[in-house]
């Protein structure tokens, strides 16, 4: 079946079997291998992508079901090739990754959280990444990374000091 | 972990979906896919054709009718979780929804899908049975409504018509001024399948006496069960009386044993969580009464 996907801002047309998951379509047809194939039955969260801005498991969705939808993968987060988003940089800063297999999913789940909630609590962060399994870091540094990114984004967006500030 | 071949159709109406289902005996309905797609991946399900109803506008949305909150089958769990109508009219469902899977599965998963798949440990079917919701299905023969208690037959087994689909669930709204809810669950890890879950809703009169009570237990047997604790109506619902009433009512439970929990454990925890959920519901109702 012919399907048109809006992937990271660009329309991509693919011709896929109905049984092909969005995950396999992204990886095999569009060479976007940042979404990882872990358990392939909805448990691990390594395949997380954003569909219309919300994190979902791309292994639990067929590409034909995503026809016309807006998909963001980890490749779509940075502002330019070679750059990192504030959140991605925070993961490096706090050592929020080791092997990196879960990292794209962790970052996309956290990215969606920060879009909706600029000042999440640790409980909010834990809930947002509760569907993503990490077997290396034990989650502590991942939560720290999201806290750090939230703080950096808040500071970047804070209004300049009113007294003596530029108009 | 790759599904077997199937054909895919996205019908434009419920009537068209029913026609496809009627002419393909081994077709399956798919909406959010959070239960069905893992089964396809493990080839526990091998339908010849998938009928995708997720984009049918007539099946989505939450609407209020007198005394009833109607939730369309393809309403995403996340929409119900964030709905102010659900929070105010159906606080028990609002309390249960954060326990359903994880945020990413609630973004895709639907209210109707959770009901239609009838997992014995699922939270939405438990709330439907506890509150005596009505489940509406449709096939080429027309619409049919039945009590949730009749809809759930066994694990992943419902009374839905073979060539039909679930279109909506109708929850009765309690109109009493002081209604409180409680929800508890025990699982191996947060948001995993429940070994035992308990959902309670209580209405109190201005003197603090119970005027209506509902209690449901999930995860214990092959389907969610409503326990009869009507003996607590007219009382203050406090002290040992609560645990005694739940224990007596729990005689109807038929707990199952598996690797994770024995039948005896499930029964013991069901009584404990049932009493705890009622206690929370009473405290919640008192708090709402005090705020009036």
**What is the reported pLDDT for A162?**
54
Is the pTM for the entire model greater than 0.90? yes
Spans in chain B with pLDDT lower than 70: 291-292
Predicted complex ipTM: 0.92
Long-range CB pairs of A23-31 (<8 Å, 24+ gap) are: A23/A47, A23/A49, A23/A58, A23/A59, A23/A61, A24/A63, A24/B2, A25/A63, A26/A58, A26/A71, A26/A73, A30/A5
- What is the percent of chain A with per-residue pLDDT over 70, rounded to a whole number? 96
Nearest Cα to Cα of residue A76 among A142, A10, A2, A149: A10
Distance CA B266, CA A156 (A): 52
CA dist B283 and A14 (Å) reads 56
Contact B108 A57 (CB under 8 A): yes
- The arithmetic mean of pLDDT across residues A135-155, rounded, is 94
Residue B210 parent element (H or E) = strand B210-218
Identity of the residue in A18, A21, A55 whose CB atom sits nearest the CB atom of B7: A18
Of B7, B108, B191, the CB nearest to A60: B108
A37: its two tokens? 């194939």
| Closest by CA position to A2, among listed A12, A10, A30 | A12
Position B68 scores a pLDDT of 98
The CATH number assigned to the domain with range B7-52 reads 3.30.43.10
Task: Give the model's pLDDT for residue A161.
Answer: 64
Give, to the nearest 10 degrees, the angle between helix B240-249 and helix B263-290: 130
pLDDT of A138 strictly over 90: no
pLDDT value, residue B292:
61
* A31-60 confidence digits (pLDDT tens): 999 999 999 999 999 999 999 999 999 999
CATH 3.30.465.10, domain B59-172, yes or no: yes
Within 13 Å, how many C-alpha atoms sit on residue B60's CB side?
16
Instruction: With CB atoms and an 8 Å threshold, state whether B8 touches A64.
Output: yes
CA-nearest of A29, A37, A53, A40 to A112 is: A53
The class that CATH gives domain A2-76 is alpha beta
| CA separation, residue A6 to residues A58, A75, B8, B54 (Å) | 14, 13, 21, 19
Q: Nearest to residue B236, comparing CAs of B245, B247, B223, B248? A: B245
CA distance A6 to chain B (A): 17
Cross-chain CB nearest to B38 (options A1, A42, A45): A42
- pLDDT at position A166, please? 52
- Mean pLDDT over residues A155-159, rounded? 85
Which chain B residues are Cβ-neighbours of A54 within 8 angstroms? 78, 104, 107
Whether pLDDT at A1 is above 60:
yes
Cβ B277 vs Cβ B180: under 8 Å? no
Domain edges within chain B: 7-52, 59-172, 178-291
Asked if B104 and A51 come within 8 Å (Cβ–Cβ), the reply is: no
pLDDT of residue B106: 97
Instruction: Indicate whether A163 pLDDT > 80.
Output: no
Q: Which of B249, B242, B282, B283 is nearest to B267 (CA)?
A: B249
Residues of A in contact with B107 (CB under 8 A): 51, 54-56
Helix axes A140-157, A103-116, angle to 10 degrees: 40
Binding-face residues of B in 188-247 toward A, CB within 8 A: 190-191
Q: Write the class of the CATH domain B178-291.
A: alpha beta
Residue A132 pLDDT exceeds 60: yes
Taking all residues of chain A, what is their mean pLDDT, rounded to a whole number? 94
Q: Would you identify the CATH topology of the domain A86-159?
A: DNA polymerase; domain 1 (1.10.150)
How many angstroms away from the CA of B52 is the closest CA of chain A? 8
**Domains in chain A: boundaries:** 2-76, 86-159
Q: A19 pLDDT band (50/70/90 cuts)?
A: very high
- A interface test, pick of B36, B46, B101, B104 with most A CB neighbours within 10 Å: B104
């Amino acid at each position: 079946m012919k399907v048109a996907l809006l992937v990271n801002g660009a329309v991509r047309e693919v011709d896929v079997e109905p049984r092909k998951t969005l995950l396999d379509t992204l990886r095999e047809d569009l060479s976007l291998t940042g979404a990882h194939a872990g358990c392939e039955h909805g448990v691990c969260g390594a395949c997380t992508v954003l569909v219309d801005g919300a994190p979902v498991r791309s292994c639990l969705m067929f590409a034909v079901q995503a026809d016309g939808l807006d998909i963001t993968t980890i490749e779509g987060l940075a502002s330019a090739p070679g750059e990192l988003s504030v959140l991605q940089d925070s993961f490096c800063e706090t050592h929020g990754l080791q092997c990196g297999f879960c990292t794209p999913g962790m970052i996309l789940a956290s990215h969606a959280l920060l879009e909706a909630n600029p000042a999440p609590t640790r409980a909010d962060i834990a809930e947002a990444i509760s569907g993503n399994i990490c077997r290396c870091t034990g989650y502590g540094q991942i939560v720290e990374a999201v806290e750090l990114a939230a703080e950096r984004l808040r500071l970047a967006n804070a209004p300049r000091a009113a007294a003596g500030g530029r108009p | 972990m790759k599904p077997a071949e199937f054909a895919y159709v996205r019908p434009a109406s419920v009537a068209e979906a029913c026609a496809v289902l009627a002419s393909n005996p081994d077709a399956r309905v798919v909406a959010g896919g959070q239960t069905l797609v893992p089964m396809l991946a493990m080839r526990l399900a091998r339908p010849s054709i998938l009928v995708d109803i997720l984009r049918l506008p007539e099946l989505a949305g939450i609407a209020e009718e007198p005394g009833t909150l109607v939730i369309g089958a393809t309403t995403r769990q996340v929409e119900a979780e964030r709905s102010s109508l659900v929070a105010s009219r159906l606080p028990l469902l609002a309390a249960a929804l954060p326990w359903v899977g994880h945020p990413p599965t609630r973004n895709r998963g639907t209210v109707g899908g959770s009901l239609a798949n009838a997992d014995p440990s699922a939270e939405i079917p438990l709330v439907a049975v506890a509150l005596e919701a009505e489940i509406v299905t449709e096939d080429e023969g027309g619409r049919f409504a039945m009590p949730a208690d009749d809809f759930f037959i066994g694990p992943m087994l419902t009374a839905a018509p073979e060539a039909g689909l679930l279109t909506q669930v109708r929850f009765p709204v309690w109109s009493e001024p002081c209604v409180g809810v409680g929800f508890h669950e025990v699982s191996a890890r947060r948001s995993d399948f429940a070994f035992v879950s308990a959902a309670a809703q209580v209405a109190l009169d201005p003197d603090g006496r119970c005027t209506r009570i509902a209690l449901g237990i999930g995860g214990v047997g092959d389907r969610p069960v409503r326990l009869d604790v009507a003996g607590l109506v007219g009382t203050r619902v406090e002290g040992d009386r609560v645990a005694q009433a739940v224990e007596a009512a729990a005689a109807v439970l038929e707990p199952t044993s598996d690797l994770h929990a024995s039948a005896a454990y499930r029964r013991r925890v069901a009584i404990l969580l049932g009493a705890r959920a009622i206690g929370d519901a009473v405290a919640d109702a008192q708090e709402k009464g005090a705020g009036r």
